[in-house]
């Protein structure tokens, strides 16, 4: 049995072609999905979603069994569960718990023959074996007869796979042209590049390579004309200037740079970008008291013994320094991720969710995507990001995360990639993820932060005053550095004046401890009903809370009160304590939450130091 999907669907039995009529679209869909997952179990739910777009009829399960029966009959596929005689060497379509599994050698599906060839061609190109790379990628391209799955009805899974495969074909085509240019075959590719540049006037890859080919053929004026037209179209359609790479090539053509005549000079790059993106902001402060957590994170990200993608989640209450720790760790391990370090905050300053498409465009632009690719919808951008990172070693840092669904489209796919997540809520992303939860710093570390930040300040001459000032910061690194910043600006202050400033500003619109913004973003991620209940709790309830007390205070049911408390605990606003006599947990506010949040209610609350 052989299945071809890189074009119209073709299916062959042992010694003959099996025609699946276009009218039997759901049978064709079922076969395509099983073949793309050969050797893996495809769950019943996945098949039903693919065939009926999340709206299966009541007879869907019976219909699915009928389609599978037709495939078994058409291709003489045995079912191991059936108990019948099955030839050991024959392909099988087995019924397993929860789904179906097509056992078929990888060499019998054209997709699985194509992808290893492309991986080998890329490796050969990186090794500068351009002739072999061209032969290998040409062999891969010969497997294509049209767009992937072109005549198969596509539900969500097949549509996503078709987008990925067609992007792979485009990448292979580019690689073949790159190899030809490196081999000096600019005459042979000129027609292709001229046609491609005409069809896609803002595709800088095509314009760049067409200019190179024309220049090598001593057609310098035409090469300059290509740049002029590309610059005008890019400005008109995109409102942008040409990329630095295209501008640099233009200057090289103007100056008749001899380097352009050397095919082995690597004028263009296979990965579509000549510079490794590094989006990481610089850490703002030194780390204190986090050596253990920093070592745990860097060990997970830098250790290459693991076969899977390292993923680290750093969580904690507002002001505990999650973002700073993530950045310090990312910079320390950046050498292990040579293909790029990408960074994004998933919430803006008001706590609103940043759109996935906006973040993905930033990532892909850094990796070298063309502007026409960046105009795709978020789903296709996510698929493109996964495709591009499949063979790369990229570190992705995602900060201000509040929900697992925020993450899924933004995660790289390659096992050589790493992910660091700064989370405002306890998350379960993967059973292999490393979880680091931050609490407040020990008091001695708080003193060290203040003393080392302003070593010559007069507050350090008053140890007792400095201890009270540190106590007001409640172990929060964000608050400590905010106080230290104020002391740097006002070196004439005493510790008593700094303490008075913190206490006097606590109930005003100002943010003396510098952590209100983090609390606001955490609060904004809660449902509207929960936010209103939090305001009521902050204005009237004591520091220690129980479900019964909250139910009585807010006038809500006991179960709703317990759910609210658990929701706040998951968001690092409350800390659960040991169960009471009735088996229910009690809860207390995380350090600093009560004073941070006091200005949100009518009656300001300031806990003692």
Q: Is 574 helix (H, G, I), strand (E, B) or coil?
A: strand
Q: Are both 45 and 118 inside the same structural domain? A: yes
Domain final position from 405, 438, 471: 438
* 177 and 261, same domain (yes or no): no
- Confidence bin at 100 (pLDDT 50/70/90): very high
∠ CA 402-405-406, nearest 5°, is 55
What whole-number distance in Å separates Cα of residue 141 and Cα of residue 139? 6
Give the distance, in angstroms, between the CA of residue 441 and the centroid of all CA atoms in the same chain. Answer: 30
Residue pLDDT, tens place only, 311-338: 999 998 888 889 999 999 999 998 888 8
What pLDDT is stored for residue 206 in this prediction?
A: 92
Same domain, 220 and 338: no
CA angle 395, 440, 541 (to 5 degrees): 120
Task: Reply yes or no on whether the pLDDT at 297 is more than 90.
Answer: yes
What is the CATH classification number for the domain harbouring 211?
A: 1.25.40.10
**Mean pLDDT taken over the chain:** 83
State how far the Cα of 205 lies from the Cα of 344, in Å rounded to an integer. 26
* 329 shares its domain with 366: yes
The number of distinct structural domains making up the chain is 5
48 and 112 share one domain = yes
What pLDDT, in 10s, does the model give residues 501-532? 888 776 545 666 666 777 777 877 788 777 77
CATH number for the domain including 327?
A: 3.40.50.300
Residue ending a domain, among 149, 183, 217, is 183
Residue 89 has a pLDDT of: 54
Between strands 2-4 and 10-12, the pairing is antiparallel
Same domain, 130 and 255: no
* Pairwise CA distance, residues 416 & 336, whole Å: 9
* Domain coverage including residue 255: 187-270
- Distance, in Å, from the CA atom of 109 to the CA atom of 399, rounded to the nearest integer, reads 41
- Whether residue 547 sits in one domain with residue 478: no
Does residue 591 have a pLDDT over 90? no
Do residues 477 and 324 lie in contact, with contact meaning Cβ atoms separated by under 8 Å? yes
By the 10 Å C-beta count (0-12 exposed, 13-18 middle, 19+ buried), 474 is classed as buried
SS3 of residue 453 by DSSP: helix
**Could you read off the pLDDT of 173-231 as tens digits, one per residue?**
999 999 988 888 888 888 899 999 999 999 999 999 999 999 888 888 999 999 999 99
Domain final residue, candidates 154, 183, 212: 183
Confidence bin at 394 (pLDDT 50/70/90): very high
Cβ distance 353 to 347 under 8 Å? yes
d(C-alpha 501, C-alpha 489), whole Å: 14
Instruction: Please check whether residues 434 and 459 belong to one and the same domain.
Output: no
Task: Answer whether 597's CB lies under 8 Å from 539's CB.
Answer: no
Q: Tokens for 38, please give them.
A: 């050969």
3-state DSSP helix/strand/coil percent for the chain, to nearest 5?
Answer: 55, 10, 35
- Rounded CA-CA distance 361/367 in Å is 10
pLDDT at 241 over 70: yes
* Banded model confidence at residue 592, pLDDT cuts 50, 70, 90: low
The answer as to whether 507 is a domain residue is no
pLDDT at residue 601 in the model: 42
Whole-prediction pTM: 0.53
**β-pairing, 418-423 with 92-96?**
unpaired
């Amino acid at each position: 049995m052989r299945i071809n999907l890189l074009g119209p669907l073709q299916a062959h039995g042992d010694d003959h072609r099996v025609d699946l009529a276009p009218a039997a679209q759901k049978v064709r869909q079922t076969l395509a999905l099983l073949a793309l997952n050969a050797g893996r179990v495809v769950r019943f739910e996945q098949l039903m979603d693919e065939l009926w777009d999340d709206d299966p009829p009541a007879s869907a399960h019976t219909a699915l069994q009928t389609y599978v029966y037709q495939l078994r009959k058409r291709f003489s596929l045995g079912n191991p569960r059936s108990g019948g005689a099955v030839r050991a060497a024959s392909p099988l379509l087995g019924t397993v718990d929860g789904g179906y599994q097509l056992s078929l050698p990888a060499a019998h599906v054209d997709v699985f023959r194509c992808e290893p060839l492309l991986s080998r061609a890329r490796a050969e190109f990186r090794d500068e074996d351009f002739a072999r790379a061209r032969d290998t990628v040409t062999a891969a391209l010969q497997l294509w007869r049209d767009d992937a799955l072109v005549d198969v009805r596509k539900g969500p899974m097949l549509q996503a796979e078709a987008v990925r495969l067609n992007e792979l074909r485009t990448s292979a085509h580019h690689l073949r042209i790159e190899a030809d240019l490196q081999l000096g075959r600019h005459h042979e590719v000129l027609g292709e590049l001229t046609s491609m540049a005409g069809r896609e006037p803002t595709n800088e890859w095509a314009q760049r390579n067409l200019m190179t080919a024309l220049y090598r053929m001593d057609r310098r004026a035409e090469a300059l004309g290509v740049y002029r037209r590309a610059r005008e179209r890019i400005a008109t359609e995109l409102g942008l200037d040409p990329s630095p790479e295209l501008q640099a090539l233009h200057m090289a053509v103007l100056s008749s740079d001899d380097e352009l005549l050397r095919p082995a000079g690597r004028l263009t790059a296979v990965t579509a970008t000549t510079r490794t993106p590094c989006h990481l902001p610089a850490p703002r402060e030194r780390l204190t008291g986090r050596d253990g957590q920093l070592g745990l994170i860097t060990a997970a990200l830098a250790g290459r013994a693991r076969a899977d993608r390292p993923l680290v989640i750093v969580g904690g209450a507002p002001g505990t320094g999650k973002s700073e720790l993530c950045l310090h760790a990312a910079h320390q391990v950046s050498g292990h991720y040579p293909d790029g370090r990408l960074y994004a905050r998933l919430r803006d300053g008001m706590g609103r969710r940043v759109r996935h498409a906006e973040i993905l465009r930033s990532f892909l632009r850094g990796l070298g995507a063309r502007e026409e690719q960046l105009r795709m919808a978020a789903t296709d951008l996510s698929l493109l990001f996964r495709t591009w990172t499949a063979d790369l070693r990229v570190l992705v840092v995602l900060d201000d995360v509040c929900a697992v669904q925020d993450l899924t489209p933004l995660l790289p796919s390659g096992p050589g990639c790493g992910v660091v997540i700064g989370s405002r809520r306890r998350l379960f992303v993967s059973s292999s993820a490393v979880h680091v939860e931050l609490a407040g710093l020990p008091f001695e570390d708080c003193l060290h932060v203040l003393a080392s930040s302003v070593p010559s300040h007069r507050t350090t001459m008053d140890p007792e005053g400095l201890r009270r000032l540190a106590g007001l910061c409640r172990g929060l690194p964000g608050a400590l550095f905010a106080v230290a910043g104020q002391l740097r600006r006002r070196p004439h202050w005493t510790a008593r004046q700094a303490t008075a400033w913190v206490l006097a500003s606590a109930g005003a619109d100002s943010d003396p401890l510098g952590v209100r913004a983090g609390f606001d973003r955490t609060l904004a991620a809660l449902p509207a009903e929960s936010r209103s209940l939090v305001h009521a709790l902050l204005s009237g309830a004591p520091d220690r809370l129980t479900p019964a007390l909250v139910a009585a205070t807010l006038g809500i049911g006991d179960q709703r009160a317990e759910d609210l408390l658990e929701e706040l605990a998951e968001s690092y606003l409350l800390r659960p304590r040991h169960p009471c006599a009735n088996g229910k947990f009690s809860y207390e506010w995380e350090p600093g939450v009560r004073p941070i949040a006091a200005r949100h209610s009518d009656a300001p609350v300031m806990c003692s130091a």
